[in-house]
Amino acid sequence: MNNAEHLEIVRLYRNDHTITIKELARKFRRKPTTISRILRENGVTPQYNRTRMLNPNVRKTVLTLTLQGLTMEQIAERLKIADGSVCNIVHAHEQELSCLTDAF
């Protein structure tokens, strides 16, 4: 991996507060431990549960769009967040979503 790729990993991680280490690992075809090491070497402390950092309004919007029938990919694209973050939010609120859909 060259220095330009290292800088791109750091830039993406710093600028997109929802992208996870696993998502960066998939994107750059590296192990998550390699991505974590690169971040640490560049003065960035990896955070292992970035979904919790999302604004509560984003969570609410994700759940609303899910109820409206949008796919996780469509929601991620619309809100400019990672697919994995949408997936984590939906799975964390599955019971709540089930109750809401049963009410309709």
According to the model, what pLDDT value does residue 51 have? 57
pLDDT value of residue 28: 95
DSSP symbols for 74-96: HHHHHHT--HHHHHHHHHHTHHH
Tell me the whole-structure pTM to 2 decimals. Answer: 0.51
Q: In which band, very low, low, confident or very high, does the pLDDT at 61 lie, cut at 50, 70 and 90?
A: very high
Q: Is the dihedral of CA 87, 18, 9, 35 positive or negative?
A: negative
Instruction: Please check the confidence at residue 16 and state whether its pLDDT lies above 80.
Output: no
Q: Which domains are seen in the chain, by residue range?
A: 3-48 (1.10.10), 52-103 (1.10.10)
**Angle at alpha carbon of residue 74, lines to 102 and 99, rounded to 5°:** 15
